[in-house]
Amino acid sequence: MRHLGPNWYATVMGTAIVASAGATLPGRALPRPALEAVWALATAALGALLAARAAHWARHRDQAVRHLADPAVAPFYGCLAMALLAVGGATLSVGAGVIGEPAAVAVDAVLWSAGTVAGLVAAAGVPYLMVARHRVEPGTASPVWLLPVVAPMVSAALGPALVAHLPAGQPREALLLGCYALFGLSLLMTLLILPVLFSRLVHHGPLPLALTPTLFLVLGPLGQSTTAVNNLADAAPGAVGGPYPAAMTAFAVLYGVPVLGFALLWLAFATAMVVRAARSGMGFTMTWWAFTFPVGTCVTGAAGLARHTGLHALTWLAVSLYAVLVAAWAVAAVRTAGGLVSGRLFAAPVPAPRAPASTTARTR
């Protein structure tokens, strides 16, 4: 367990979003027991992983500290927050049919609160470490940098489900507007990172093969922010008065449609880069879980826009993306299970080869 890193929380995120995204599809597109089984699997995985990571910090503190000092690993601490939030949201939207609504609300409230605090710590702490402690070499920008700053956006997207369960008046309004603040925090930080990432791709070429799937992480803030504004618009009528509910609904559509359009463009670009990497021999790594949660956020974003516009094309888009999500999750889950059984995924990482020393002779 020495090399069990925070990136493993991506397995929980990717599993939970299969359940919660399926619940947003119209009608009875999917059997409820199937979604509940996936939710139960995500919940069990979260519990096991929290225990394993606690043991990792207790028994291998030096390695855990080394993870925080590594600019390639530290951003994955944002996955802890998103795993808590994803399971909490799935508990309320899917698990309520199993454990009852009061228990589901209580579980979601605890996990949302813990995930939001962890997300804010990651969103502030990881960039601080990158500036003050890490040595970030030129040309090493990665989509992984988005992970800690996207966590507050997940809080903004899932917090509105709790608004109706608070007392009317100030508590509901505070949570609703607090989620808008989380939305803005994450969005503006994302807008700082995306130009740096694209500049790295243009000036330094494609990512290494093992990191190429992380290009799908860009879909996370795009789909999740679209989901957030639509969920916030749904919660607004019971929380704020005056013209604000209508304005929030209009903003959900006027913001969500262009951003979803850009998400589809990036999906095409990222898919092309993954196909290129696969032809070059890209093998399975834990980065394949990047194919799951970000795509799931696009499902929930498209479903939210379909609710507010009534456009059937958006419904079919959500269903199509959900089919991609399920296929990606199945492949990643099977390959991960195989790696667990063989022990390969717990092996120490192979150090990158050093560049050969220059042998250029001095000439007269």
CB neighbour list of residue 308: distance below 8 Å, 6 or more residues apart: 230, 233, 249, 252, 253
Residue 354 lies in a domain: no
Q: What pLDDT was estimated at residue 138?
A: 83
pLDDT tens across 160-199, in order?
A: 999 999 999 999 999 999 999 999 999 999 999 999 999 9
Give a yes or no: residue 151 inside a domain. yes
Could you tell me if 112 and 83 are in contact, meaning their C-beta atoms sit under 8 angstroms apart? no
- Measured CA to CA, the distance from residue 29 to residue 15 in angstroms comes to 18
39, part of any domain? yes
Let me know: does 161 contact 92? Beta carbons within 8 Å. Answer: yes
pLDDT of residue 349: 62
Distance separating alpha carbons of residues 88 and 94, to the nearest angstrom: 10
Higher pLDDT residue, 303 or 138?
303
Examine the pLDDT at 359 and tell me if it is beyond 50.
Answer: no
- φ/ψ region of 101 (left if φ > 0, alpha if ψ in -120 to 50, else beta) reads alpha
**Predicted confidence (pLDDT) at residue 360 exceeds the cutoff of 70:** no
| Mean predicted confidence (pLDDT) in 266-275 | 97
**Is residue 72 assigned to a domain?**
yes
Between vectors from CA 228 to CA 226 and to CA 234, what angle results, nearest 5°? 110
Q: How many domains does the chain have?
A: 1
Residue 295, domain extent: 6-346
Residue 80 lies in a domain: yes
Whether 115 is covered by a domain: the verdict is yes
Average pLDDT value for the chain = 92
CATH number of the domain residue 195 falls in: 1.50.10.150
- What does the pLDDT average to over 60-86? 92
Asked if the model's pLDDT at residue 298 lies above 50, the reply is yes
Nearest to 160 by CA among 219, 98, 95, 116: 116
Distance (Å) of CA 327 to CA 43, 131, 264, 322, 330: 21, 38, 18, 9, 5
What secondary structure does DSSP assign to 243-261, as a single string?
Answer: THHHHHHHHHHHHHHHHHH
Kindly tell me the burial class for residue 51, based on how many C-beta atoms sit within 10 Å of its own C-beta (0-12, 13-18, 19 or more).
exposed
Assigned domain for 361 exists: no
In a domain? residue 359: no
pTM to 2 decimal places: 0.92
